[in-house]
Amino acid sequence: MSATASPSPVAVETPLHRLARKFAANRVALGGLIVFAAIALVAIAAPLAAPQNPYDLASLDIMDGSLEPGTPNADGRPYLLGTDEQGRDMLSAILYGLRISIGVGVGSTVLALSIGLAMGLFAAYSGGWRDTLVMRLVDLQLGFPPILIALILLAILGRGVDKVIIALVAVQWAYYARTVRGSALVERRKEYIEAARCLALPYTRIVFGHLMPNCLPPLIVVATMQVAHAIALEATLSFLGVGVPVTEPSLGMLIANGFDFMMSGKYWVSFFPGITLLVTVVSINLVGDHLRDILNPRLQK
């Protein structure tokens, strides 16, 4: 507006502002972020937003079983997405299922990120045989497809939300460890680390105070994509019957429940949870895809 406010408007733009501006420049990615934020919000607010508590058996009416979408219930309010064979409102079941799916996806990603970050920093900063040991473990694990490792673990551990999270963490940590180690190896040769060493700062302070913050950007991209992967993998495992227990149905389990009904033409029991899952995963992938483009220095012309 005026020259007095700031002599150069570029100089006051913080890196975070720049990131936000670049991100918002892509309408598709911005749309993805808004859609995901909305989905996450209704998932968190499920007890308030859902017309029915799908776990409360008293509120279910078996007479309302397998109704088509839009059929009105006893109070005259329509079941927007139909009901399953027990008379459970699918919209409510989906909202509650989303909580579990997103909770497991985000929770396992945060845990795996922390473990991978610690392992990657440790490997890169220590070097030598410790580095070799960690990276061999990473190589070994990345040599096998995630679904196989998760199936093995769940075959051993049994079903359960906590066990699914353990399996997903075990599958994911290696990606973070490899990414972190890569950027940490570059960063630790830079002057500021050397300066910190010359000041005789403690090991933990150098690693966590100086090295870690500078290794985070590429990790954010990996983490975004991994949330989508984790949600999809959890859904797959639950569909196969080795994931979450019947009492805590995630989207994948809802889809599996509807499989038999689909054959008799009752598509809605698994179609709508599937669409919800798809929209969630696509919106996260759109955000991650664009983040990768703007955070990748090689693509900046």
Partner 1 sequence: MGYVLNRLIQGLTVIAAMAGLVFVGVYAIGNPVDMLISPEADQAEIDATIARLGLDKPLLEQFLNFVSGVLHGDFGTSFIYNEPAVRLILDRFPATLELAVSAVLIAILVGIPLGVIAGLIPDKPAGRSIMAVSILGFSLPTFWVGMMLIMIFSVWLGWLPSTGRGETVELFGIPVSFLTASGLKHLLLPAINLALFKTSLVIRLARAGTREVVGQDYIKFARAKGLPESRVILVHLLKNMMIPVVTVLGLEFGSVVAFAVVTETVFAWPGMGRLLISSIVQLDRPVIVAYLMLTVLLFVIVNFVVDLLYALLDPRVRRKGA
Binding site for partner 1 (CB under 8 A): 140, 143-145, 147-148, 151-158, 228, 232, 235-236, 239-242, 252, 255, 259, 262-263, 265, 267, 270-271, 274, 277-278, 281-282, 285-286, 289
What minimum distance in Å lies between the beta carbon of 144 and partner 1? 6
Contact 101, 252 (CB under 8 A): yes
Residues 6+ apart with CB under 8 A from 131: 123, 124, 181
Q: What is the nearest approach in angstroms of partner 1 to the Cβ of residue 39?
A: 14
Residue appearing with tokens 């007095």: 4
Check if the beta carbon of residue 98 is closer than 8 Å to that of residue 158. no
Residue carrying structure tokens 């109070």: 75
Residue that is written with structure tokens 């078996």 in the block: 62
Our CB check for partner 1 shows the closer of 48 and 263 to be 263
Q: Which is nearer to partner 1, 113 or 269 (CB)?
A: 269
What number of residues does the chain have? Answer: 301
* Inter-residue contact 154 to 167 (CB < 8 Å): yes
* CB-nearer residue toward partner 1: 171 or 211: 171
Residue closer to partner 1 by CB (options 16, 156) is 156
Output 15 or 158, the one with its CB closest to partner 1.
Answer: 158
Nearest distance in Å: CB 136, partner 1: 9
Residue 267 CB, nearest approach to partner 1 (Å): 6
Q: Which residues pair with residue 83 across a beta bridge?
A: 89
DSSP class of 83: B
Is 102 in contact with 45 (CB distance < 8 Å)?
no
CB of 272 to partner 1, least distance (A): 11
